[in-house]
Structures are given as structure tokens and as C-alpha cells.
Structure 1
Amino acid sequence: MSNIQIAGGGIGGLAAALACARSGHAVTVCERAAEVSEVGAGVQLGPNVVKLLQGWGLESALRQVAAYPAQLQVLSATTASQLGRLQLGAAFEQRYGAPYLTIHRADLHGLLLQAAREVPNIALYFDATLTGFAQTDELVSAEYSNDLQVESDILVGADGGWSTVRRLLLDDGVPQPTGHLAYRAMVKQSDLPAYLRSDQVTAWLGPRLHVVQYPVRGGTWLNVVAIVHGQVQGEMSHWDHSANATDLQQYMQVACKQLRDLIGAIGYWRLWPLSIRPPMQGAHEHAKERVVLLGDAAHPMLPYLAQGAGMAIEDASALAWALATPTNQPNGVAQQLQRYAQARWQRNAQVQRRAIRNGKIFHATGLLRWGRNTAMRLLGERLLDLPWLYGGAYR
């Protein structure tokens, strides 16, 4: 069994810790934040991801905090007319072996953290920022803030889109702005007028914008994300900050009354400029010798397929699977990590490409928008159901 250190204690890092520890490995998680926290709002989890969490014994914990929408509907942002829908619920669960759920990001992080704290072979350190590492044929030695030094067989970089591990390992630049801004908010459903409350996933598609809403926290809260075209300057290019609600309302002037009412009913928003890398080009972007990248550190992606957290959790499962492969080679760990990289990079690249494509379709104008709406009305369920994705969970 290996000793594994993980830089990053977010969703991907904790998922990797759980998956690997359950296989008998000793895991050390080093998180830069001084206290437990997870920024963000809602997360959608398809059955490809939910079945992995269930396999780690988290089904009961999910039931306590998630929502289980019965339908995904796509509406025109300008007219509120329905363009297409996908039935979720029991039939969807039967088709793919697990349900489709929506959850607050902090709740998902919290249940992963609680599960990690209950595993004796996981050590958790906070206020520990990676400052450097070196690897030899035998081990990886990493230095963190507060004079923490960790030696291990493997270093996992799960430290987000602006990954320090990636910068030191690959030195291939940073994610680039897309020109899209995400306004995110959470609101109690009881604080909304009845006609604005919802128990399903709704995507509103408009010219150069779209809005997604869905229930979280057992349905008592509504998560709303509005994506528009725009730019910001400086450090905001890679983090989120308080947003001006009036700015978002200006973007929504072309929207129908119901959507404008929803946006207007929410007074507090967070602004998150979206930056990404090109889709993965090969296994070398996942692993090099004894260092491996996972989640956004390897493949930051646009949220237009709702699979960012999901791919990180799939990565975690695949890493544990690869490390379970017996090897008698002198550099067996590196071979195991290459097996992980080969298993993951093409699927992650496919999701990245589809998310980019979805952004163009969601924000279409002119003839492309007309063609999209026509295709959705004719083939809605067939276009929205994605067997290659939902039926493709790893190990």
C-alpha cells in the first residue's frame, strides 16, 4: 500500500482521500484554507457520479441534504415557452442505476469531510499551503506553509484551476478568460412568491445568456446561476466576489417577465468570471512520474454540462482503481499513475469539449438560435439524455 499526500481539501481532494483510504492506503490531506469552508452554490450530480458516492457508503448522507428533481426542462429565456424536457426520477434511476440529484456545494463538501474524519488512515491539515515539492525515484517530498513537510509515495494535485502543483509540474500557463461571467445566488424558496418556486431543474436559454435554477438542501433552497457575456479586470479573473444585482438585471432586460422577476427577487449575488484551459491533449496532463493531477487542476471546464465536480469524483475513483493494480516493476507507482492518466484524459477532454459546445448553443443568436429551438422541440429528450455520460462512471 502507498502513502499518498493530497494538496487540496475541496470536493476532488476529499473524494480522492476517501477512495484511496478505502483501498487501504495512508492519506494525508493538506488544505490551504485555515478553516473548513467551500465556496460556491449548487452542484448537479448525474448517476455516473452518484453511484460512486453510494459505493463509498454515502447514500444515506446524500438523502439528508440533496434534492431529487423529477424533471429537467429547457425554456426560452425571452418567451418562457418550453423547448424540451428530460424526465428524471424513477425511470432515469432505473436506466442508469442511480438517481440524478442536486446539492449545495457546501453540503457535498461537508459530507465528504465528515466521512474522511471517520477514516483512521486519513490525516487532515488545514492552513497548509503548498510551496514546493521535489520527487525522486523513491518518493515525493513537499513543503507547506507553517513549516509542514510531508514525504510520500505519491503527490496528488487537487488544488483547483489555479493549481500550484500543476504550475510546478508542467509550467504550462494559467486558465484563460472565456468572456463569460457567472452570477450565482442561493435563496430560500419560502422567501420567493409561489410562482417562482421550483422543484425541478430549469435551464433558460437566451441570446448571449442563460440561467439555470434548481432546488438544493432537500428542496428548501433554490440555486440560481446566470451566465452572461462580459469581462472583469485584475484578480477577479480567477475568484468570486460580491456582485451588483443591478448589473445582472441590466443583462436580463431581454428576458421574459417570469425570469426577470426571479432575478429581481434575489438581492445578493456572487460574481465568478469563467476561465478554462483547452480540452486535455493527452495523459501527460494528468500524471508525471509520482505526481498526479485531479479535478480542476487537470481539466478546468465550463459549467455547461454540470460535470465539473462529477469529473473530479470520477478521477478520484479511477485513481484508487489504478493504485489497486498489482505491480512488481521497480517504478510501479509511476506505472499505476499512468494507468490512471490513460483511463481518464480522453473522457475528461470529451466533457470539456461538450461543455464548450453547449455554451455556444445555449447563447446562440440568429439562425443558430432558431435551429436550436426547432431541434429541441422535435428531439428534446433525445438531445438532453446523454448515455455516454450518465452511464460511464469509472470503476
Structure 2
Amino acid sequence: MTNQEKEVLVIGGGIGGVAAALASAEAGHKTKILEQAPQFGEIGAGIQMGPNAMAVLERFGVAGEIAKVAVFPKRLVLKDVYTAKELAVLDLGDEFKEKYGFPYIVLHRSDLHRVLVEAARKNPLISLVNNQVIETVEEDTSGVTVTNQRGERFIGKAVIGADGLWSKTRKYFSDDEAICSHYVAYRGTVPIEEISSDANMDDVIMWIGPNLHVVQYPVRKGELYNQVVVFKSQNYKPDSNDWGTPEEMDKVFEGCHPLVENALSFIQRQIRWPMYDRLPIANWTKGNFTLLGDAAHPMLQYLAQGGCQALEDASYLADMLQLYGENFEQAFLAYQEERIPRTAKVQRSARAWGEIIHTEDPVSILLRDTLLEQKEAKEFEMIDWLYGYKKLPAGKVSK
């Protein structure tokens, strides 16, 4: 087998991994996705896609399919969790879409993932393989070899590690540990008819308060209502599940607005999601081996950018793979040179925004609310750096 016949190997078949495969195939490379689960699928509930992510979905030819299952909200709204007062509004209407070229959407994670996987399955250059727990990655003159849990080997011409927050491929670049924020999330979707008529189905609502918040929005064309309840546990214990319990959640949210208390009654309490990120690292490329998405830059969810940044990665990687052809080392170095500063800024900003929305200090709360209330709904300066990212494919979709 000559090097030219070998495939690009993508470790991980989540949103980032499948997008990476679409990027590699767009550049003309045969590509194999190695996924550890028995089948391709996503757990979780809703996901938000800003215009920076929509640009990439359009590039990969899936925006039309995504639109069939998405909701196009009219506003992002920050509300006080106790009084229901609107603290800030971002208008997502025509001016927003005109400025950033694409709409803001919300949808079920599994719908987004399914559409991406379907696109990969239809692509003759992409193959998908399950039950692959990749243990090692090695590079020598014959190529890059990955070995799975059964000792089976795949030899490729390049490897993209897209194996998420708990990435095994990241260990080749950093011995860092995931950092627990002491926050947990409980998520759930409920049939729309179960929701109080007070809920505004055109909005993404984030209720905020000291050490807690709740996010609500419709998904699946408005058939389901997605809710995420997040709070900081005062009982955090490393290497334990005995903290951030549903009982603690009920206690933390006592005295909240009735609409928030109602939301809690619908939350699924069986699965608790501790919130982790990692610090940015200065390098994630070595030879013909690079990282992408959460394996490279896991972030807290407060800017709703985890999936979006993985899609941005894939788009810029596609550009570099086309530019450098079979020179993967050069393509990967050029890719990380652009993406490391960008993703590090989003990681740090997500942390900072978490501190701002969850602050307990009365002076900080007053300052935050006063500043937010002065912002107009169509004032986009604060978000321009995030949604106006220039290293994306040009073009517009009308919605």
C-alpha cells in the first residue's frame, strides 16, 4: 500500500469528528472515522448554533437538512431568576442575519449529529467504523498507526484526534487534567404541550442568579421544549458522584420565580452532568497528527460555543488541507496557528462569562445588570468578535 492510498483516520465520531471527516473528504482524502460507541449517536438535549457554526454547516452542504429540524429563535433573553425581569435582549432578526450572514438556530443535539453522519455516509470517500476504543497513536516512516482495544491496527497517512473532553489523544500533547468547575447540569426535553403558556416559544431564555442558571428553548421544529438547569454545588467531592444531587438542586432553587420552579418539575433527574473544561494549550500538532474540537479545547458551555468551535476547526482545517495537499504536517501547523488563539479566547471568555452571570457579590450584580440594561437589543459590538469571525466561508442563507 502506498502512502497515497492510505486514509486519514479520525478518532471520535461526535459532532467534531464527523465534521473533521467531511473536511478531509472535501480536500479529496479517503477518510475513516473510528468511533468507540457501538453505534453513531449523540446524548444530551439541545444545542445552540450561532451564525459562525451555520456558515460551516452551509459549507458542508447540510444547512438545508438542519433547517428542517431546527428552530429559528427571535431573541436571546437574560432574565433574573427571582423576579423574571429582562436584564438584556439580543435581537436575532433580520439585522443580525444580515450582519453575520447566517441565522442563529437551536436544535436537538441528536438531530445535528444525525444530519452530519448522514452526510458522511453518503460521501464515497468516508467510511465509519464502530467499537473502536483507540489506545495508542504512533508515527513512523510508514505512516501513522493507531491501535484499538483489541490490538487491531489502522495505518493512515494522517490522524485527527476528535475524541472529546476525556480525550486519549490529547495525552500526546499535554499531561493536563480536566478541571471541574463544581457546577452540574441537569437536562431534559419535554413535549411542548406540557409547558406553561407563559413560555415564549420565540426566545432562547437564560434565567440567571448567584451560582445558578436555567436555559430554555424549543427544539425539533417546536415539538419539544429543551431545559437545562445548572448550579454550583457546595458539596463538591473529587472522584465522587455524591455532590450536585437532585436534592441539592431543589434546595438551591428554592424561592425562584414560579416559571423556574415549574421548569424544575420537568427536569430528568437520573443523569447529572458535571461541568468541566481544560486550560488552553500551546500546541496540539505533531507531524501528521493533530487535535480538533473538545480534544483540543474543551470549554464551559456559557457561550454555547463548544460545538460551534469544533465546526469552525473543521472548516479552517478543510481550507488548509486543500492548500497543502498531501503535506499534512504543514496543513496541521497552519491550522493550529489560526485556531489556537481563537479557541483559547473563547475558552477564557466562556469562563469569564460564567463568573459574570453567576456572581454572588451584590455590587457586581448591580454593575452587571446596570451595564446590561444599557445595551440595545440590536447592539452587536459585544458579540462581534464571536459571530463575526472572518476565517469562515462567505455566503448567506435566507431564513
Work out whether the TM-score is over 0.5: yes
**Percent of paired sites with the same residue:** 34
User: Cα distance, 1:35 vs. partner?
Assistant: 1.4
Select 2:337's aligned residue among 342, 367, 378: 342
Select 2:26's aligned residue among 9, 22, 27: 22
1:36 matches 2:40: yes
In 2, Cα distance between equivalents of 1:344 and 1:163? 18
Please give the secondary structure, in 1, of the residue aligned with 2:303.
Answer: coil
Q: Which amino acid aligns with 2:387?
A: Y
In 2, Cα distance between equivalents of 1:327 and 1:125? 25
Count of residues paired in the alignment? 384
8 A Cα contact 1:314 1:393, kept in partner: no
In 2, Cα distance between equivalents of 1:303 and 1:347? 16
What's 2:61 paired with?
A: 57
1:209 matches 2:212: yes
After superposition, residues 203-282 of structure 1 pair within 5 angstroms as: 203-230=206-233, 231-234=236-239, 245-268=246-269, 270-278=271-279, 280-282=280-282
Q: Deviations over 1:348-388 (max 9, x none)?
A: 00101110000110101211011111111112544785111
Please give the secondary structure, in 1, of the residue aligned with 2:155.
Answer: strand
User: Cα distance, 1:319 vs. partner?
Assistant: 1.2
Root-mean-square deviation (CA), in Å? 2.1
Q: Deviations over 1:220-268 (max 9, x none)?
A: 111111221112553659xxx9x96444222111411221122124454
Q: Which amino acid aligns with 1:391?
A: G
Please give the secondary structure, in 2, of the residue aligned with 1:234.
Answer: coil
In 2, Cα distance between equivalents of 1:122 and 1:327? 18
What's 2:396 paired with?
A: none
Q: Which amino acid aligns with 2:110?
A: A
Bigger mean CA deviation after superposition, 143-152 or 88-97: 143-152
What's 1:390 paired with?
A: 387
User: Cα distance, 1:85 vs. partner?
Assistant: 0.2
1:367 matches 2:363: yes
1:101 matches 2:105: yes
**Which structure 2 residue ranges, 5 or more long, are not aligned?**
393-399
In 1, Cα distance between equivalents of 2:202 and 2:188? 16
8 A Cα contact 2:186 2:269, kept in partner: no
8 A Cα contact 1:185 1:269, kept in partner: no
Q: Structure 1 length as normaliser, TM-score?
A: 0.92
User: Cα distance, 1:133 vs. partner?
Assistant: 1.8
**Which structure 1 residue ranges, 5 or more long, are not aligned?**
none
Please give the secondary structure, in 2, of the residue aligned with 1:325.
Answer: helix
Q: Structure 2 length as normaliser, TM-score?
A: 0.91
8 A Cα contact 2:181 2:276, kept in partner: yes
Bigger mean CA deviation after superposition, 119-128 or 378-387: 378-387
Select 2:350's aligned residue among 351, 355, 366: 355
